[in-house]
Structure 1
Amino acid sequence: MPDFQASYFTIFVICLICSILITKLYKSSHVKSDVLPTPFRLPIIGHLHLLGSIPHQAFHKLSKRHGPVFRIFLGSTPCVIVSTPETAKEIFKTQDVAFLDRPQYTVVNYLSYGYKGFLFARYGSYWKFLKKIVMSELLNGKTLDFLFPVRRDEINQFIKLISQKAKDGKSVNLERELMRLTSNVISRMFMSKRCSEEEDESGDLTKIISKSAELIGTFNLSDHIWFFKNLDLQGLGKSSKDIHRRFDALMERVMREHEEARKQKTGETKDLLNILLDISEDKSMEINLTPENIKAFIQDILAAGTDTSAITTEWALAELINHPKIMKKAVEEIDQVVGKSRLVHESDIPNLPYLQAIVKESLRLHPTAPMIQRLSTRDCTVGGYHIPANTTTLVNVWSLGRDPAHWESPLEFRPERFVGKQLDVRGQHFNLLPFGSGRRMCPGTSLGLLTVHTTLAAMIQCFEWKAGENGNLASVDMEEGIGVTLPRANPLVCVPVARLDPISLTL
Structure 2
Amino acid sequence: MEDLTFYLLLLTIWLASTLLIRHLTSNRRHRLPPGPLPIPLIGHLPLLGTLPHLSLHRLSAYYGPVISLRLGSSPLIAVNSTSAACEVFKTHDIAFSDRPRSYASLRYSYGGPGFAFGPSTPYWRFMKKLCVSELLGSRTLDALRPIRRQERLRLVATLNEAAARGVFTAGSDTTATLLEWALAELINNPSIQYKAQQELDSVVGKHRLVEESDVPNLPYLQSIAKETLRLHSPVPISHRIATRDAKILDYDVPAGTIIFINLWSIHRDPDNWVDPFEFKPERFEDMALEEKQKNLLHYAPFGGGRRGCPGMTLGLDVVHVTLASLVQCFEWGVDGGKVDMKEGMGLTSPRKNPIVCMPRVRLNPFPTLHE
Identify whether the pair has TM-score above 0.5, normalized to the shorter chain.
yes
Cross-structure match for 1:89: 86
Q: How many angstroms apart in 1 are the aligned matches of 2:132 and 2:49? A: 38
**Any residues of structure 2 matched to 1:434-445 within 5 Å, and which?**
434-445=301-312
Confirm whether residue 133 of structure 1 aligns to residue 130 of structure 2.
yes
Runs of 4+ in structure 1 over 4 Å off: 30-33
Note the C-alpha offset of 1:427.
9.2
8 Å CA contact 2:153–2:369 kept in 1: the answer is no
Quick one: distance in 2 between partners of 1:115 and 1:427? 34
Partner of 2:350: 487
Q: What is the DSSP-based 3-state SS (H/G/I as helix, E as strand, rest coil) of the residue aligned with 1:121?
A: coil
1:390 is aligned to 2:256: yes
More helix by share: 1
Query: Of the two, which has the highest radius of gyration?
Result: 1
**What are the equivalent positions in structure 2 for 1:363-442 lying under 5 Å apart?**
363-421=229-287, 422=289, 428-442=295-309
Deviation per residue, 1:383-434 (Å, 9 max, x gap): 110000000000000001000011111111111100043456x992111111
In 1, Cα distance between equivalents of 2:345 and 2:131: 30
C-alpha contact (below 8 Å) 2:207/2:367 kept by paired residues: no
Match among 435, 455, 461 for residue 328 of structure 2? 461
| Pairing partner for 2:218 from 339, 346, 352 | 352
Distance 1:82 1:63 in 2: 9
1:97-145 Cα shifts (integer Å, max 9, x gaps): 1000011111211221111221000101111111111111111001100
Aligned to 2:62: 65
Match for residue 114 of structure 2?
117
Q: Give the equivalent residue in structure 2 for 1:245.
A: none
* 1:427–1:435 CA contact under 8 A, matched in 2: no
Superposition deviation, residue 163 in structure 1: 0.5
1:106 aligns with 2:103: yes
Name the residue aligned to 1:313: 179
State the alpha-carbon separation in 1 of the partners of residues 232 and 308 from structure 2.
Answer: 17
Contact 2:66 2:84 in 1 (8 A): yes
Distance 2:245 2:195 in 1: 50
Q: Which runs of 5+ in 2 are unaligned?
A: 1-26
C-alpha distance in structure 2 between counterparts of 1:37 and 1:51, whole Å: 16
Residue type of the alignment partner of 2:368? S
Aligned residue number for residue 173 of structure 1: 169
CA distance in 2: counterparts of 1:61 and 1:427, whole angstroms: 29
Aligned pairs, how many? 342
Q: 2:76 aligns with which of 67, 75, 79?
A: 79
1:371 to partner: Cα distance: 0.2
Helix, strand or coil at the partner of 1:166: helix
Q: Tell me the TM-score normalized by structure 2.
A: 0.89
- The CA deviation string for residues 297-332 of structure 1, in whole angstroms up to 9 with x for no partner, is xxxxxxxxxx31111111011001000011110110
* Alpha-carbon RMSD: 1.9
Measure the CA separation in 2 of the matches of 1:148 and 1:71. 46
Structure 1 distance, partners of 2:370, 2:274, is 42
How far residue 74 of structure 1 moved from its aligned partner, in angstroms, is: 1.1
Q: CA-to-partner distance for each residue in 1:322-354, whole Å, 9 max, x for gaps?
A: 000111101100000000011010011111010
Secondary structure at 1:96 match in 2: coil
Matching residue's letter, 2:170:
L
Mapped to 1, the partners of 2:353 and 2:41 lie a distance apart of 34
State the one-letter code of the partner of 1:314: E
Give the Cα separation in 1 of the matches to 2:110 and 2:174. Answer: 22
Q: 1:152-176, CA deviations, whole angstroms, 9 ceiling, x for partnerless residues?
A: 000001101110111222x11121x
Shift of 1:75: 1.2
Instruction: For residue 505 of structure 1, report the CA deviation from its aligned partner.
Output: 6.7
Paired position in structure 2 for 1:266:
none
User: In structure 2, what residue type is equivalent to 1:494?
Assistant: C
Deviations 1:207-242 (A, max 9, x none): xxxxxxxxxxxxxxxxxxxxxxxxxxxxxxxxxxxx
